[in-house]
Amino acid sequence: MEIDGLDAIDMHVHAEISESGHTSLPDDLMAASTAHFSSAEERSPTIDRIAAYYRERRMAAVVFTVDAEHATGRPPIASEEVAEACGRHPDVLIPFGSVDPWRGAAGVATARRLAADHGVRGFKFHPSLQRFDPSDRMAYPLYEALEELGLPAVFHTGQTGIGAGLPGGGGIRLRYSNPMLLDDVAADFPDLTIVLAHPSFPWQEEALAVAVHKPSVYIDLSGWSPKYFPPILVRYADSLLKRKMLFGSDYPLLTPERWLADFAELDLKPEVQPLILKENAARLLGLPGSERG
C-alpha cells in the first residue's frame, strides 16, 4: 500500500455479505439499520466492489464484519473470508477480524490464528450487538492476546442504528457501548491500542475524557455526518486530540463522499485535516512510510 498515493484512510467500513450471499445481521436488524441511516447506496456490496469503490476515490479502507453469534444466533461472515478477499486488493483494503468475546479460550485461539495465518491487522467489537460489557473480565484473555500481538481493537460506542425503531430496540442494550466502560480496559491494558468508534452520543464528553487521559485511546469519527458533530468534539479534534482523531465513514451506511463534503466545512486548522484524514490512521496501523506512535 502506497500511502503517498492515497487521499484518505477510512477506518470504518463494513463487510455485510459473504460470497455465498450470507448476511451478517438477522433480517429485522438489517432492515432497521437501513431505515435508520436512510441508506441510498447499495446496502451490502461485496468486498471486491468495496475495493473498486475506494480505489476510484484514491482511498484505503479498513474492512471488518462483527461476530455476534452468541447474542443473535446468526453465524458471522467468516473473518478468514474477509481477510482473503481483502488480500486480493492490498493496495486499498486492510482486513480486521472479529471474535465474539463469549467464545472464551476458543476465541483467543481464533484471534491468534487470524493474525498469524490470515494477516488481519486489528479487531472489531460491537458491545451492544455482541451483548457484553467490555470491562467484563471474561473478555480480558482476548484483550491480552491482542495487546501481545500489537493489534488495535475498535469498539462501537454510543447509540447504534442496529435495532433502532424496533420494539425494545430489537433487544439491543445501549449501555454496553458507554465509552467509560473502556476506560477500565485502557487502564488494565496500557499497551493495547483502543479505538472508540463513532461520536459517542449521548456520552461524547466521556469519550473525549478517556481519549485525553489514556495515551492508547483514539476516536474514529464514523457513522455521523460531520455537520452534526457536537461543538465540543470539533474543538477537541482541532486541539488536544488532533493526533488521535481518525476519519471513518461507516460505509455502506454513510458514504465517504457525504462525510468528506461535510468535513470540509468544519472550522479546523489547516494542519489538522490531513492528520484526521490519513496521517493518524497510517501511524496507528503502522503502514509503510508512517511513523507509529
Residue 178 resides in a domain: yes
Each residue of 195-217: b (16+ CB within 10 Å) or e? bbbbbbbebbebbbbbbeebebb
Asked whether residue 33 carries a pLDDT value surpassing 70, the answer given is no
Q: Supply the CATH number for residue 252's domain.
A: 3.20.20.140
Residue 291 resides in a domain: no
- The reported pLDDT for the residue numbered 293 is 45
Model-level pTM? 0.93
Residue 225 resides in a domain: yes
Residue 68 resides in a domain: yes
- The reported pLDDT for the residue numbered 236 is 98
Residue 73 resides in a domain: yes
Residue 293 resides in a domain: no
| Domain range enclosing 243 | 3-285
Residue 238 resides in a domain: yes
Residue 154 resides in a domain: yes
- The reported pLDDT for the residue numbered 23 is 77
pLDDT digits (tens, 9 = 90+) for 59-96: 999 999 999 999 999 999 999 999 999 999 999 999 99
pLDDT digits (tens, 9 = 90+) for 210-240: 999 999 999 999 999 999 999 999 999 999 9
Residue with cell 485511546: 217
Q: What is the DSSP letter of 249?
A: -
pLDDT digits (tens, 9 = 90+) for 116-131: 999 999 999 999 999 9
Total domains in the chain come to 1
Asked whether residue 292 carries a pLDDT value surpassing 60, the answer given is no
